[in-house]
A and B are shown apart, each in its own frame.
Chain A
Amino acid sequence: MYPKDLKYTNTHEWARVDEGFVTVSITSFAAEQLSDIVYVELPSEGASVERGSSFGVLESVKAVSDVYSPVSGKIQEVNHRLEDEPELLNNDPYGEGWMVKILAAGEGELDNLMDAEQYESFVEQERGE
């Protein structure tokens, strides 16, 4: 159900390792929970981010939520399309709805994240609560 080539956080972000950088956005579960996302605040290119700290903010109807970075590093690229088309996060969270590309500070930054199977059971647990 969740893409096998991605890693996941317990705050519902995904991370994909490409050559030299890590692409990050929110999972389909997060998008579904938020419902229609209407505003997106993104960081600036070149900004430093720390693992577990907020790098962006989203608003769905009447709720503002922080988005957390799965890795430490520098923001290399930002998907500015989301500022005009925030619905991409709902419609295509693993593709056109990517948020940022981060140049990770070091190897092993993704080691503590969940794989797709672990994330699926984590979501089931949250749904059950």
Chain B
Amino acid sequence: MAVDEAIFRLMRENNGNPTLRLYTWNPPAVSIGYFQSSDSPLIAEYLEIGYPLVRRPTGGLAVLHENEMSYSMTGVLGQDGYPPNREEAYRRAHESIKEALVDVGLEVDMYRDEELNWKDGFCSSSWFPHDIVLRGEGKIGGSAQRRSGRLLLQHGSIALLQQVDEKRLAERVGVKFEQLLRVDLRQQELTDEELSLSEKLVREKYGTWDWNYQGRFLSLKRD
């Protein structure tokens, strides 16, 4: 979470270059949306058996980060071929993931129903338009966003099914994002600035009980 926010906050300095980050979680954990209450029996079930909790800077519902791949994408809406608005960014990202999942051999569709289906506090059991659905089964991909002016951070989760090769999926997601978001990606490590800001964000925000459980965070302290 801290790395995603660091990339997002430093975007202006980074000439607004779009970034795609793919990662898995160790240890597995539960993340909740910006406004979501941590005080829910469904979430408590996981916390009681030892899953750590982290609050995201993005909206949406709880996600269990286990046997899944997370992505974050940041960019300036309408700049350098990046989608013009957040709905389009949402749709294109999911289209990219859907095509990547087809490439690794899954039969997937996008949820077309306009009807929202909030089942409980978890993202995986609540369906939204454009969510990714395994044919004949259930939802296997969903996302949430944070928007600051024209800067967009989008988070999402893709279930890693047993038959799917993780490396191959990551490679296909990268290729499809390039095509659908109309950006050229090149692989690189985090910059020193991104690393040091993410460490600060862990100390002052994502590593604190106040933020994760209560959603209380004032602002980063000055150095």
Contacts and interface: CB of A to CB of B under 8 A. Distances in A.
B128 A61 contact: yes
Nearest to A10: B149
Contacts of A61: 59, 116, 128
Interface in B101-153: 116, 128, 143-149
B35 interface: yes
Contact of A39 (B35, B146, B148): B35
B60 interface: yes
A41 B148 contact: no
The interface size bin for chain B is 20 to 34
Interface string A25-47: 00000000100001101000000
Contacts of A54: 148
A66 to B, nearest CB: 5
A11 B148 CA distance: 9
Given A33-B85, A59-B34, A59-B59, A65 B147 contact: yes
Interface in A1-54: 11, 33, 38-39, 41, 54
B59 A62 contact: yes
A66 B59 CA distance: 12
The interface size bin for chain A is 10 to 19
A64 B78 contact: no
A120 to B, nearest CB: 18
Interface in B68-120: 78, 84-86, 116
B59 A63 contact: yes
Given A59-B35, A61-B128, A66 B148 contact: yes
B143 A57 contact: no
Question: Max chain B CB contacts within 10 Å: which of A11, A54, A57?
Answer: A57
A94 interface: no
Contacts of A60: 59
B174 interface: no
A98 interface: no
Contacts of A11: 149
A104 B141 CA distance: 46
Interface of A: 11, 33, 38-39, 41, 54, 57, 59-66, 68, 129
Given A39-B35, A63-B144, 11 more contacts: A11-B149, A33-B85, A59-B33, A59-B34, A59-B35, A62-B33, A62-B143, A64-B144, A65-B146, A129-B84, A129-B85
29 contacts: A38-B35, A41-B35, A57-B34, A59-B33, A59-B34, A59-B59, A60-B59, A61-B59, A61-B128, A62-B33, A62-B59, A62-B128, A62-B143, A62-B145, A63-B86, A63-B144, A63-B146, A64-B33, A64-B34, A64-B35, A64-B58, A64-B144, A64-B146, A64-B147, A65-B146, A66-B149, A129-B78, A129-B84, A129-B85
